[in-house]
Amino acid sequence: MEKNTKEKVIEIRDLSITFETLAGNVHAIRGVNIDLFRGETLAIVGESGSGKSVTMKAAMGILAKNSQVDSGTIMYTYYRDDGTKRTVNILEMKKKSLRKHINGKRIAMIFQDPMTSLDPTMQIGKQIMEGMLWHGRANKTDAWAKAVKLLEEVGIEEPERRMKNYPHQLSGGMRQRIVIAIALACDPDLLICDEPTTALDVTIQAKILELIQRIQRERGISVIYITHDLGVVAKIADYVDVMYAGKIVEKGTVEEIFYEPRHPYTWGLLSAMPDLDTEDERLYTIPGTPPNLLHPVEGDAFAPRNQYALKIDQRAEPPMFKITDTHYAATWLLDERAPKVEMPVELRHRIDRMMKGEVKNDNN
């Protein structure tokens, strides 16, 4: 696709979300902006608790009851069955309308633990057919045939027999394939994968990842892939958003994030990534812990963990500095008045090795 003909599927602007808890209000999402173009894959990375899942739940309109959206828009553009284009603000839609027109039908989500999305009391065939029947995508006979085809597509052998199985009769990897089949049943144009392989063992992880990539290629759908595993990101993403304490702190193409990272937090994540070439067994971990979002954040939320922190970090939040048309980072180190700071030498060497070796996306 030509760069200037790209169409946005999702555009999130200035999204802020608070949770009411017994301990007080948790400011979980603090002004998030996200763009996803049609047919592309965006990875959202960041430590646990940074707000990845909450942001995507907001995009599905399935936030928890104790949540409050303080600001923002989530614009979603899709094509109706008659081919006409429509853009809606997910946050302004009624629950009923979301369920009827968007959720499951056009935007589908795969979660980390397949058991949370499967009904243990229902045959898997029925579960795959359910959405098609509910959204009026097919009659019973067609839905059955399509479900069998989907099982084949996600690599389940003897699909006809499997249709009658219950979830407990399947392995974890097979269950996640079923969840993917359910997600694909209504031909969504956007697939959100929330750490879909985290609960699985390494070989199964790789197979599920390959499956998602193949489906993305064959169906040309847009994918948002949430993970804390940067190795996965290198394989699948076109763009990467790095999240920290409820904000996007760096965004860029996958090459920019891996080869020219500019935010010290991204440096930390990359340094902590397991690397087959590294002889040293001890893996780096970013010191400290993320801030408690019950309390307002003063200055740069990453400053207390940042060995390169500047004085200004204590009192002012850094804006997103532009590096290229596609690359931005929120760190005062990019201010023209800041001292010149390079990424750690160790990381530079690591990246140089990565650049010489096999790079991402050879399948694109």
Binding residues (CB under 6 A) for ligand ADP: these are 19, 21, 26, 28, 46, 48-54, 64, 66, 293
Query: Could you tell me which of 330, 333, 328, 303 has the C-alpha nearest to residue 315?
Result: 303
Least separation in angstroms between residue 143's CB and ligand ADP is: 33
Least separation in angstroms between residue 137's CB and ligand ADP is: 30
Report whether 152 contacts 180 (CB < 8 A).
Answer: no
Chain residue whose CB lies nearest Mg ion: 53
Q: Quick one: what does residue 318 bind among ligand ADP, Mg ion, none, with the CB cut-off 5 to 8 Å set by partner type? A: none
Which of 37-45, 51-59, 255-263, 275-283 is the region at the interface with Mg ion (rule: CB under 5 A)?
51-59
Two tokens at 40?
A: 């592309």
> For ligand ADP, which is the closer residue by CB, 49 or 155?
49
Nearest-angstrom CA–CA distance, 57 and 1: 29
Could you say whether residue 227 binds Mg ion (CB under 5 A)? no
Least separation in angstroms between residue 161's CB and ligand ADP is: 36
* Residue 350 DSSP one-character state: H
Q: Quick one: what does residue 132 bind among ligand ADP, Mg ion, none, with the CB cut-off 5 to 8 Å set by partner type? A: none
Least separation in angstroms between residue 359's CB and ligand ADP is: 27
Query: Could you tell me which of 14, 11, 22, 19 has the C-alpha nearest to residue 89?
Result: 11
Report whether 351 contacts 268 (CB < 8 A).
Answer: no
> For Mg ion, which is the closer residue by CB, 29 or 309?
29
Could you say whether residue 50 binds Mg ion (CB under 5 A)? no
Least separation in angstroms between residue 44's CB and Mg ion is: 10
> For ligand ADP, which is the closer residue by CB, 66 or 307?
66
Residue from 53, 55, 103, 117 binding Mg ion (CB under 5 A): 53
Query: Could you tell me which of 223, 111, 204, 203 has the C-alpha nearest to residue 154?
Result: 204
Q: Quick one: what does residue 249 bind among Mg ion, ligand ADP, none, with the CB cut-off 5 to 8 Å set by partner type? A: none
Edge-to-edge order in the sheet of strand 85-89: 24-37, 8-21, 67-79, 85-89
> For Mg ion, which is the closer residue by CB, 53 or 331?
53
Q: How many CA atoms lie within 13 A of 117 on its CB side?
A: 25
Least separation in angstroms between residue 26's CB and ligand ADP is: 5
> For ligand ADP, which is the closer residue by CB, 34 or 129?
34
Buried b (16+ CB within 10 A) or exposed e, 267-299: bbbbbebebeeeeeeeebebeeebbebeeebeb
Nearest-angstrom CA–CA distance, 211 and 178: 12
Q: Quick one: what does residue 28 bind among ligand ADP, Mg ion, none, with the CB cut-off 5 to 8 Å set by partner type? A: ligand ADP
> For ligand ADP, which is the closer residue by CB, 144 or 244?
244
Least separation in angstroms between residue 50's CB and ligand ADP is: 4
CA-CA distances (angstroms) from residue 277 to 205, 349, 350, 356, 361? 21, 11, 9, 12, 20
Report the SS3 class of residue 328: strand
> For Mg ion, which is the closer residue by CB, 53 or 253?
53
- Strand spans (E) along 38-106: 41-45, 67-79, 85-89
Q: What are phi and psi of 345, to 5 degrees?
A: -55, -45
Q: Quick one: what does residue 54 bind among ligand ADP, Mg ion, none, with the CB cut-off 5 to 8 Å set by partner type? A: ligand ADP
Q: Quick one: what does residue 104 bind among Mg ion, ligand ADP, none, with the CB cut-off 5 to 8 Å set by partner type? A: none
Q: Quick one: what does residue 307 bind among ligand ADP, Mg ion, none, with the CB cut-off 5 to 8 Å set by partner type? A: none
Q: Quick one: what does residue 68 bind among ligand ADP, Mg ion, none, with the CB cut-off 5 to 8 Å set by partner type? A: none
Which of 47-55, 101-109, 144-152, 227-235 is the region at the interface with Mg ion (rule: CB under 5 A)?
47-55
Report whether 163 contacts 127 (CB < 8 A).
Answer: no
> For Mg ion, which is the closer residue by CB, 53 or 103?
53
Where do the H-state alpha helices sit in the chain? 52-60, 95-101, 114-117, 124-134, 140-153, 159-162, 172-184, 202-219, 230-236, 254-259, 264-271, 345-356
| Chain contacts with Mg ion (rule: CB under 5 A) | 53
